Amino acid sequence: MTDSTVTGVTSAVSDKPRNPQTTRAVVIGCGHYLPERVVPNEAFTKTLDTSNEWIVARSGIERRHFAAEGETTSKLATRAAEAALANAGIAPESLDAIIVATSTPDLTFPSVATMVQAEIGALKAFAFDVQAVCAGFVYALANANALVVSGQAKRVMVIGAETFSRIMDWTDRSTCVLFGDGAGALILDAQAGFGTSDDRGILATDLNADGRQRDLLYVDGGVSTTGTAGYLRMQGNQVFRHAVEKLAQTAEDALAKAGLGAGDVDWIVPHQANIRIIQGTAKKLGLPMDQVIVTVQDHGNTSAASIPLALSVAATEGKLKPGDLIVTEAIGGGLAWGAVVLRW
Ligand code: UT7
């Protein structure tokens, strides 16, 4: 990918209404980082009443990465940011904004985004975190898109980075086998579009929340309650039920906003929580699994990092081609959920 600016739109000829003023947030680079330590399912059978067979059958997870001691979320985020800058071939000083989606920041404040800003030397960028748990990256992408289309920023780095291993209760088999650590980053650039669904870049977003469901997935500590970081608590089968119902709906709603349907989609890049949720959503959308990017077997559930990790892995493997239509969708604690439709 190149350091392109407001030209070079690869739009096919279309009879749809055109608005030549349209600014699109186009992906010009991506990158990811996974901690070195890989933990297979078998590692849990030493201390818990669980098995590789149960974990694979119920979740699709085979292994996950855990951060080393001292390897904080900002360090993972910085490595992913550096990889994305190299992939895009741009200088950090050209970034106008950095948004980090995370629920596991290094400190209560300052934000992880400001730490990344200093580490990579993006000193012209404003920086802030978004916290929407597993839907965090979708929320962050939607916010980045709003900054770009409103003219408040021309070039935005959007990162999902998590160290969920820090909030695991290692005695709770129903949660600690599911999560992993990692980071992924995308760089969005303001480019001119025609206002049609043939444009490259973000075409539509759909965000939702239902705070009445907060007891289904939460962390039992925090600054203004216990004064501790706390541990993740989840009623997995209840979250599962909401996920299957809500993810296909938000994907369809986002596609409809873009004037598109499931038949136009080249790739679903879903939040990687559970292979059965991923399969169920693809089925509801009427799309085969060979159009779905799946990394859950290798990464586990990395919360806000899972979508940018999956996008970057798929790009590295050469699966995503310029012009491909991608739908990302995610749900997590809150509940918060949503989808983004973008043309790569
Ligand atoms: O990313 C944020 C959103 N999160 C999600 O999307 C996660 C959604 N939920 C899920 O992925 C699934 O619900 C789980 C993978 C968490 C669980 O799968 P499930 O098929 O819904 O199982 P379950 O919770 O209904 O539990 C079935 C049984 C229970 O035993 P009983 O009550 O039937 O005797 C659990 O105690 O499996 C038991 N169990 C385990 N057994 C072996 C729970 N965890 C384990 C384990 N090993 N690790």
Are 1 and 200 in contact, with CB atoms under 8 Å apart?
Answer: no
What pLDDT score does 21 carry? 80
Give me the tens of pLDDT residue by residue for the chain, a chain 344 residues long.
Answer: 333 333 333 444 556 667 668 999 999 999 999 999 999 999 999 999 999 999 999 999 999 999 999 999 999 999 999 999 999 999 999 999 999 999 999 999 999 999 999 999 999 999 999 999 999 999 999 999 999 999 999 999 999 999 999 999 999 999 999 999 999 999 999 999 999 999 999 999 999 999 999 999 999 999 999 999 999 999 999 999 999 899 999 999 999 999 999 999 999 999 999 999 999 999 999 999 999 999 999 999 999 999 999 999 999 999 999 999 999 999 999 999 999 999 99
Residue with the smallest CA separation from ligand 1 atom 42 is 50
Amino acid present at 67: A
From CA 344, how far away is CA 335, in angstroms rounded?
Answer: 28
CATH number at residue 340: 3.40.47.10
The residue with tokens 């790009």 is 315
What pLDDT score does 20 carry? 66
What pLDDT score does 3 carry? 36
Residue with the smallest CA separation from ligand 1 atom 26 is 237
3-state secondary structure of 24: strand
DSSP secondary structure code for residue 45 in this structure: G
Task: Kindly give the interhelix angle for 136-149 and 306-316, rounded to the nearest 10 degrees.
Answer: 80
Exposed, middle or buried, 220 (CB in 10 Å: 0-12/13-18/19+)? middle
Are 231 and 166 in contact, with CB atoms under 8 Å apart?
Answer: no
pTM beyond 0.75: the answer is yes
Residue 274 alpha carbon, nearest atom of ligand 1: 11
From CA 333, how far away is CA 102, in angstroms rounded?
Answer: 12
Residue with the smallest CA separation from ligand 1 atom 48 is 173
Q: Which residues contact 289 (CB under 8 A, 6 or more apart)?
A: 279, 282
**Token code pair at residue 326:** 């991608």
From CA 6, how far away is CA 88, in angstroms rounded?
Answer: 15
Which domain, by its residues, includes 122?
A: 1-344
Distance of CA 124 to the CA centre of its chain: 24
- What is the 174 CA–ligand 1 centroid distance (Å)? 6
- What is the 294 CA–ligand 1 centroid distance (Å)? 20
Reading across the β-sheet that carries 23-33, which strands appear in turn? 23-33, 181-192, 155-163, 97-101, 126-130
The structural domain count of the chain equals 1
Residue with the smallest CA separation from ligand 1 atom 12 is 236
Most informative mutation of 52, 59, 134, 174 for ligand 1 (most atoms within 8 A of CB): 174
- The residues assigned a catalytic role are 134, 271, 301
**Token code pair at residue 258:** 């873009």
Exposed, middle or buried, 211 (CB in 10 Å: 0-12/13-18/19+)? exposed
Are 65 and 43 in contact, with CB atoms under 8 Å apart?
Answer: no
3-state secondary structure of 195: coil
Residue ranges with strand state E in 5-144: 23-33, 37-40, 63-66, 97-101, 126-130
Residue 239 alpha carbon, nearest atom of ligand 1: 8
**Token code pair at residue 70:** 């001292």
Are 101 and 130 in contact, with CB atoms under 8 Å apart?
Answer: yes
- What is the 68 CA–ligand 1 centroid distance (Å)? 27
- What is the 47 CA–ligand 1 centroid distance (Å)? 18
Pocket of ligand 1 (CB under 6 A): 50, 54-55, 58-59, 134, 173-174, 177, 236-237, 239-240, 243, 273-274, 277, 301, 331-332
